[in-house]
Amino acid sequence: MGKKKQEMSQVYNSNNEFIFGEKGGKGKNLSTFLKNLSLTTSPSQPQSEFNEANSNIYGSLSYSNPNTNEISRSNPSLARRASPKRSLSGPTNMSFAHSLTPTASEALRTNSPTRTKRVVSAKYADLDDDWDANFDDARVDTDMPSVRREGFGNTFLDPSPMLDSLYPDLTIPAGTKEPVKDSIDLEDMKIKLEINKLNQLNTKFLKFKALLTQSSNINLQELRKLSWNGIPSNLRAISWQILLGYLPTNKSRQSATLKIKRQEYLDGINSSSLNLNRDKQIYHQIKIDVKRTNPTVKLYGHPEVQKSLRKILYFWAIRHPASGYVQGINDLVTPFFQIFLTNYIWQLQPLLNDPQLFNYNLHNLDPTQISSRVLSIIEADTYWCLSRLLETITDNYIHQQPGILKQVSDLKNLISKIDIDLIHHFEQENIEFLQFAFRWMNCLLMRELSIDLIIRMWDTYLSESPLGFSNFHIYVCAAFLIKFSSDLKQKDFQEIILFLQNPPTSHWTDKDIELMLSEAFIWSSLYKNASAHLR
Amino acid sequence: MSGRKKTLLKVIILGDSGVGKTSLMQQFVNNKFSHQYKATIGADFLTKDITLDNNKQVTLQIWDTAGQERFQSLGVAFYRGADCCVLCYDVTNEKSLNNLASWKDEFLVQSNVSNPQDFPFIIIGNKIDVDENKKIPSLQKKLANITNNQLGGLNYPVFETSAKDAINVEAAFEVVAKMALQQEELNDANGNDVSDDYNDAINIHLEGDSAGCGC
């Protein structure tokens, strides 16, 4: 027994520090914060501590101090960072700080009686059954249209420090309009266009917000419907977890479920031991593959992140001996991991008066600043969500990979219905579908499309019922291939394979993905009931 | 028959996961080395035109395969019609050396080549740039043992390379190309079933005439 433990700690290069890390975060502000949340307090009561942490991390970490606004607002450097110009670049740096800012009394009211005592400092309160966050600031919605007509500059260009990049209107509480500080040209068409875009995003956000908060039981059908067209980045973590069935739709059960699942993961990690011969080989494979997972993204180069991925993958492999670990699963784990990680960071932003936090992204985030405990929670959620996904495609990874062979042959049959000329051309050039489409199935197109596009795609896959990773994915692959059909028909064997090895998607945006998903949807509707293509 | 068109030679690279198959291929084709290659899934495909000694132009079509055993069932799609097979191991990883024979057997089973006895294989031991003390102890002896006992005692060419430092990579693939060309000409001759104008450059005894396609 003792020996096994030793082995495990060698495997994970740790002394169980991923459970209840005493060291917490190294960053000053972060560690202060985490301590305040009692995530990293004394290890003497690990169990209760963990339970608390469990329920907190992904819940809305809301203010209990209304003055927090003032603190950040008074920091001009923050203001500049959060200016719209910078934030328009993309959804990766958003926070919806102000919209989540309840008054102290609101925070207390929302907390159940047993939770309120965990308001550990004057500054923070953590809500428990709180995936719903505190989207109480509905006032701003009604305020918006007129603001937009009259002079959006007031609102949008207000360099309020917590100004949210994508949902600026949400970030300005009603009645707190501030004087124009910048003399930016209000006629700037570019800005107008951006603002229209932001408003569309905002409408979408509000719909999600309503759906996720307004009822004690989230309407899954409705969530699927909304999510099919893309999920707002800052609600993606919770939405994915619900769509995957990891997080219950019944909000009163969410917190307890998370606690159980996260504990189960930890218990499993601690008790799993190396079965020397076979498992050693699995572990070796995982180790060398994690090293080369997204090698160009800095986050995945960090030893802490690699350790987390190894744990998740190894634990999954030994719990699923029929397939074990198969290369490519290391790719599939990354969307979950980074979504849950960034979700955590976003929730920190409004809470910490740390200008650095605004700058964190996947390329500069230092995971050593995250306590091992928080990391273990992110791991647990990642593990369970990955498991759910893989459940739908188990045949892809068992001996002989029959699932993939069938998918590839289904794809070929489908293409022969849609574009028989392409099939003829491929036949003439001796192209076999397996030669290029195997990877499409094994890695769910993650080698062909950037991670951001994949994440958008998964919004839709997760909204399909049954999940779209098996069947719907074939239609997406068909749409993907057809996109290049006319190019491919001009090419010979060598050129076709080289082209499909490295398809020109680097300039693709969400629009391209959405078009492809729509085409896939049309074909799935057309051919779903005509089972001929599934001979 | 020769000089009619560009000669296409199909080469398969096999070996355990992580021995450096992708790096070898990238070094040979693109003259570069990177630490940032992802694990190969299924097989990657690259081509390179080279000119052999006798001024013959050939195009190497190289399939760089995935090393994990789970993917072996895929072989049929990638191995068929191969003209040469490169068996790779890592000079710091004894297991990868011990697996050479099973890679060879797997290839012969799935490729269905017409002349399994004489099919051209070449052995590449990669990563010779690493510290001497990390290398497999008494490597030469073990390698000789394996070629004699498990690889049929045939004298397959052996190269020790460093994809990282570009040592011996070019030389190894030049031999690959020559061997592949011989095999290709042999297949051509048999496949077309015409009285070939090649003398017995390769001394073989064909079991049947079904050169190549076993589908």
| pLDDT value of position B154 | 75
DSSP A333-368: HHHHHHHHHHHHHHHHTTT---GGGGG--TTT--GG
Q: Is B45–A327 a contact, with Cβ atoms under 8 angstroms apart?
A: no
Q: Is B45–A443 a contact, with Cβ atoms under 8 angstroms apart?
A: no
Kindly report the backbone phi and psi dihedral angles of residue A284, in degrees, each rounded to the nearest multiple of 5, phi listed first: -60, -45
Nearest-Cα residue of chain B relative to residue A399: B70
Question: What is the torsional sign of CA A375, A377, A381, A387?
Answer: positive
Q: In the block, which residue shows the tokens 């998903």?
A: A517
User: Which residues on B lie below 8 Å from A288 (Cβ)?
Assistant: 17-18, 39
| pLDDT value of position A200 | 85
| pLDDT value of position B214 | 41
Model confidence over A82-103: pLDDT tens digits?
Answer: 333 333 333 333 333 333 333 3
Chain A nearest-CA distance from B167, in A, is 23
| Mean pLDDT, residues B180-209 | 61
Q: Is B68 on the interface with A (CB under 8 A)?
A: yes
Kindly report which listed range (A153-162, A374-383, B109-118) carries the lowest average pLDDT score: A153-162
Interstrand relation of B84-90 and B7-15 (parallel, antiparallel or unpaired): parallel
Instruction: Grade residue A189 by pLDDT with cuts at 50, 70 and 90.
Output: confident
Q: Is B48 on the interface with A (CB under 8 A)?
A: no
Chain A nearest-CA distance from B211, in A, is 17
Rounded to the nearest integer, the mean pLDDT of chain B is 87
pLDDT at A118 over 50: no
Q: Cα separations (Å) of B20 from A483, B58, B67?
A: 34, 25, 10
Give the max Cα distance, chain B: 55
| Number of Cβ atoms within 10 Å of the Cβ of A440 | 26
Kindly report which listed range (A271-285, A339-353, A355-369, B192-206) carries the lowest average pLDDT score: B192-206
Q: Is B70–A399 a contact, with Cβ atoms under 8 angstroms apart?
A: yes
| Mean pLDDT, residues A331-345 | 93
Q: Specify the CATH number for the domain of residue B138.
A: 3.40.50.300
Nearest-Cα residue of chain B relative to residue A292: B38
Chain A nearest-CA distance from B37, in A, is 6
Q: Is A470 on the interface with B (CB under 8 A)?
A: no
pLDDT at A124 over 50: no
User: Which residues on B lie below 8 Å from A401 (Cβ)?
Assistant: 70-71, 73-74
Q: Does some domain include residue B187? A: yes
Q: Using CB atoms, which residue from A292, A400, A442 is nearest to B73?
A: A400
User: Which residues on A lie below 8 Å from B35 (Cβ)?
Assistant: 295
Mutation test of the interface with chain B: which of A320, A327, A404, choosing the one with the most B Cβ atoms within 10 A? A327
Q: Is A492 on the interface with B (CB under 8 A)?
A: no
Q: Using CB atoms, which residue from A296, A331, A439 is nearest to B36?
A: A296
Q: Does some domain include residue B184? A: yes
Q: Is B35 on the interface with A (CB under 8 A)?
A: yes
| pLDDT value of position A62 | 33
Give the max Cα distance, chain A: 73
Kindly report which listed range (A327-336, A511-520, B182-191) carries the lowest average pLDDT score: B182-191
Q: Does some domain include residue B206? A: no
Q: Is B2 on the interface with A (CB under 8 A)?
A: no
| Mean pLDDT, residues B169-187 | 94
DSSP-derived letter for residue A403 is H
Q: Are A101 and A140 in contact (CB under 8 A)?
A: no
Q: Using N-to-C axis directions, what is the helix angle for A493-501 and A433-442, rounded to 10°?
A: 10
Model confidence over A299-318: pLDDT tens digits?
Answer: 999 999 999 999 999 999 99
The overall pTM is greater than 0.80 = no
pLDDT at A326 over 70: yes
Amino acid at A36: N
Q: Is A289–B39 a contact, with Cβ atoms under 8 angstroms apart?
A: yes
| pLDDT value of position A345 | 80
Q: Is A439 on the interface with B (CB under 8 A)?
A: yes
Query: Which tokens in the block code for residue A406?
Result: 């069938």
Chain A nearest-CA distance from B7, in A, is 13
Q: Does some domain include residue B204? A: no
Which burial class, exposed, middle or buried, applies to B193 when counting CB atoms under 10 A from its CB (0-12, 13-18, 19+)?
exposed
In this structure, CATH architecture of domain A396-534 = Orthogonal Bundle (1.10)
User: Which residues on B lie below 8 Å from A432 (Cβ)?
Assistant: 77
pLDDT at B215 over 50: no
Q: Is A432 on the interface with B (CB under 8 A)?
A: yes
Domain with B110 in it: 7-192
Q: Is A330–B70 a contact, with Cβ atoms under 8 angstroms apart?
A: no
Instruction: Grade residue A379 by pLDDT with cuts at 50, 70 and 90.
Output: very high
Q: Is B43 on the interface with A (CB under 8 A)?
A: yes
| pLDDT value of position A469 | 97
**What percentage of chain A reaches a pLDDT higher than 70?**
60
Mutation test of the interface with chain A: which of B37, B74, B102, B213, choosing the one with the most A Cβ atoms within 10 A? B74
| Mean pLDDT, residues A411-431 | 97
**What is the edge-to-edge ordering of all strands in the sheet holding B43-51?**
B43-51, B57-65, B7-15, B84-90, B121-126, B158-160
Q: Is B30 on the interface with A (CB under 8 A)?
A: no
Which burial class, exposed, middle or buried, applies to A13 when counting CB atoms under 10 A from its CB (0-12, 13-18, 19+)?
exposed
| Number of Cβ atoms within 10 Å of the Cβ of B156 | 17
- Number of structural domains in chain B: 1
| pLDDT value of position B64 | 97
Nearest-Cα residue of chain A relative to residue B20: A288
Q: Is A435–B77 a contact, with Cβ atoms under 8 angstroms apart?
A: yes
Distance separating alpha carbons of residues A49 and A263, to the nearest angstrom: 12
Kindly report the backbone phi and psi dihedral angles of residue B126, in degrees, each rounded to the nearest multiple of 5, phi listed first: -100, 170
Q: Is B68–A442 a contact, with Cβ atoms under 8 angstroms apart?
A: no
Q: Is B37 on the interface with A (CB under 8 A)?
A: yes
Q: Is A292 on the interface with B (CB under 8 A)?
A: yes
CB pairs under 8 A between A and B: 71
Which burial class, exposed, middle or buried, applies to A434 when counting CB atoms under 10 A from its CB (0-12, 13-18, 19+)?
buried
Mutation test of the interface with chain B: which of A281, A285, A477, A500, choosing the one with the most B Cβ atoms within 10 A? A285
Chain A nearest-CA distance from B136, in A, is 18
User: Which residues on B lie below 8 Å from A442 (Cβ)?
Assistant: 41-42
User: Integer distance in angstroms from the first to the last C-alpha of chain A?
Assistant: 52
Model confidence over A462-507: pLDDT tens digits?
Answer: 999 999 999 999 999 999 999 999 999 999 999 999 999 999 999 9
Distance separating alpha carbons of residues A17 and A266, to the nearest angstrom: 11
Q: Is A326–B68 a contact, with Cβ atoms under 8 angstroms apart?
A: yes
| Mean pLDDT, residues A189-205 | 86
Q: Does some domain include residue B136? A: yes
Model confidence over B2-26: pLDDT tens digits?
Answer: 445 689 999 999 999 999 999 999 9
Chain B nearest-CA distance from A276, in A, is 15
User: Which residues on A lie below 8 Å from B70 (Cβ)?
Assistant: 324, 326-327, 397, 399, 401
pLDDT at A44 over 60: no
| Mean pLDDT, residues B148-175 | 92
Annotated domain spans of chain A: 2-260+339-387, 396-534
Q: Is A501–B17 a contact, with Cβ atoms under 8 angstroms apart?
A: no
**What percentage of chain A reaches a pLDDT higher than 90?**
50
Query: Which tokens in the block code for residue A409?
Result: 């042959």
Q: Is B43–A435 a contact, with Cβ atoms under 8 angstroms apart?
A: yes
